[in-house]
Amino acid sequence: MAAAPILALQDIKLTLGSTLLLDGAELSVTPGDKIALVGRNGSGKSTLLKIAAGEIEADSGLRFVQPGVTVRYLPQEPDLSAFASTLAYVEAGLTEGDDHYRAQYLLEQLGLTGREEPKNLSGGEARRAALARVLAPEPDILLLDEPTNHLDLPAIEWLEEEISSLRSAIVLISHDRRFLADLTKATVWLDRGITRRLNQGFSGFETWRDSVLEEEEQARHKLDRQIVREEHWLTYGVTARRKRNVRRLENLSNLRQQRKEGRRATGEVKMTVSEGTTSGALVVDADTISKSFGDRPIVKDFTTRVIRGDRVGIVGPNGAGKTTLIKLLTGELAPDSGRVKLGSSLELATLDQGRKGLAPETTLKDALTQGGSDTLIINGQPKHVMGYMKDFLFTPEQARTAVSKLSGGERGRLTLARALALPSNVLVLDEPTNDLDLETLDLLQELLADYPGTVVVVSHDRDFLDRVSTSVIVAEGNGEWNEYAGGYSDMVAQRGYGVRKPEAKAAPAKPKPAQQVPAAAPAAKRKLSFKEKHALETLPAQIKKLENEIARLQEALADPGLYAKSPEEFEKKSAALGKADAERAAAEEQWLELEILREELEG
């Protein structure tokens, strides 16, 4: 017998402006559900999740949450402005009985200390704090809207492990195929305002979706043929009794109305890349190149050779130096030592991660044409800018829309359109998958597979790297980089683990020999991480502060008249004393563990 839902949305309808966004959408969540909520950009996924979270109200329909069930919602743009620190923000999401130490643990796992001031946070840091806030209480239901946005691969792999260990029911929106496939057991597809449910995880979704769309197209074709038959009878058929004629006319009118009201699936992006002249067979030959900034090595004695047609993926944690490595390999930045030889007749087209080439006040049309004529040259052929816009799912009405008014997905498509319009034989793509929906990602992958030139791509999307890359260069730490043949999964198989190295792990095996793959550098000796060093240095002061707080509270509670004067104040100070005492014990234990680790590492 199926479990009763703990959250349900029924017949949800919502109109935004003149657009009918949701037209009878449904969502049912039972205990332990792991649901992927998928659909095209702009289909209303985030809106439906907000309705489920109680953030906004639908025009009509029913929202039910079982009494006593806790729901936590991760928005795409969290607001921390009312809080003094990231820790205060996370702790504000806890309720009585929740583990307060889990808040600090999650922040540290996500690369934050808890002392950050919200006004100084980047968008990515704010998202990390918001993730810690929703995960800390371990609620009955987690509603997660793009949780991997702004996360690097180590953080994504950690988050995947963390979510899979929770007993919470989860509804998840993500453009990361691997993340969805690994975590979900059911899929809800939001398409043209309605939802369909597949009782399989995301790995089975795309085959099912294609079969549904094929059946729709067949049904539409039958309807078109039926209309043609009725029109033919109306024009050429033998006149029958008047009542019969009237009925046939009504049938035809109904069929036409049915066809008119049938909402077809959204069109697809039509991507083409402007090919330049053919480059030489050798594109890049880098021999023992090194680059440091101050005392910090970014690249150390790295050797590689890139041949025409290669698709090279570059992966590593944020701050590892992926962009610096690209600049070294493309000649934009000179190495401190070593040699980089570039091939002949290279024409580079670059898509930067920050979308820096998009001025906010520039219109969409001017961004594509550089403010010039209305015609672009694509593969040597002239194409009107309106037609090129349509290929990337922009409407003619958007031609004069400022870049600042575009959604994240639209900005992603625009930067791709700009980069692909440039003649090139080398494509350098820095996080090209950001904000792209799954269908657009499919088309980008097909385009790169057919592209005759060379591709260098930085990405945190493991599935994308598997589908595109012929080799993967991975940051090993301390300026060391190694190259592995194949995609991301091949790298993991050869290396023994992903970008997020487990704490207790033997030294990695050398990569399999392959063309242009150097021998792996020996594993670096384990050292205290920056966070461990920082904790070791700051914990004594934190412990001293807690001891002072404990002494102050004990002195206040020692006043025999406090309880008689204010029982509420007595209870408040007693609770604060218990909390401070527990925090001191935890801090002392953490310091002791780190001090033992330091002594072991220093021999």
Bind-site residues for ATP: 39-46, 316-323
Within a 10 A sphere around the Cβ of 101, how many other Cβ atoms?
A: 13
Phi and psi at residue 156, to the nearest 5°: -65, -45
Locus of tokens 């024009």:
235
- Rounded alpha-carbon distances, angstroms, from residue 583 to 100, 394, 424, 501, 591: 9, 55, 59, 29, 12
**Cα distance between residue 436 and residue 41, in whole Å:** 8
Q: Which ranges constitute the DSSP H helices of 530-566?
A: 530-557, 562-565
What DSSP assignment string belongs to 386-433? HHHHHHTT--GGGTT-BGGGS-HHHHHHHHHHHHHHS-BSEEEEESTT
Q: What does the alpha-carbon distance between residue 369 and residue 389 come to, in Å, rounded to a whole number?
A: 11
- The β-bridge relationship of strands 186-191 and 34-38 is parallel
> Count of alpha carbons within 13 Å of 335, Cβ hemisphere only?
24
C-beta of residue 208 within 8 angstroms of C-beta of residue 198: yes
Instruction: Using DSSP, state whether 252 is helix, strand or coil.
Output: helix
Spatial neighbors of 554 by CB under 8 A, at least 6 apart, are 577
* Sheet order of strands, 337-342 included: 296-307, 282-293, 337-342
Q: Where are the beta strands (DSSP E) in 318-367?
A: 337-342, 348-351
Alpha-carbon gap, residue 27 to 38, rounded angstroms: 12
Task: Read off the amino acid at residue 134.
Answer: V
Residue 461 near residue 436 (C-beta atoms within 8 A): no
Q: Which residue positions form the known binding site?
A: 39-46, 316-323
Q: What is the DSSP letter of 275?
A: B
Question: CA–CA separation, 110 vs 155, rounded Å?
Answer: 7
Phi, psi of 316 (to 5 degrees): 160, 170
- C-alpha 474 chain-centroid distance: 20
Distance between CA 138 and CA 132 in Å, rounded?
A: 10
d(CA 48, CA 232): 44
Q: Which two tokens stand for residue 48?
A: 């439906």
End-to-end CA distance of the chain: 60
Q: How far is CA 246 from CA 148, 224, 257, in A?
A: 59, 21, 16
Pairing type for strands 480-485 and 471-477 reads antiparallel
Element (H, E) at 473: strand 471-477
Contacts 24+ apart (CB under 8 A), 546-553: 546/580, 546/583, 546/584, 546/587, 547/584, 549/576, 549/580, 550/577, 550/580, 550/581, 550/584, 553/577, 553/580
d(CA 484, CA 486): 6
Q: Containing H/E element for 2?
A: none
Which of 35, 40, 145, 154 shows the shortest CA–CA distance to 441? 40
Which amino acid belongs to residue 455?
Answer: V
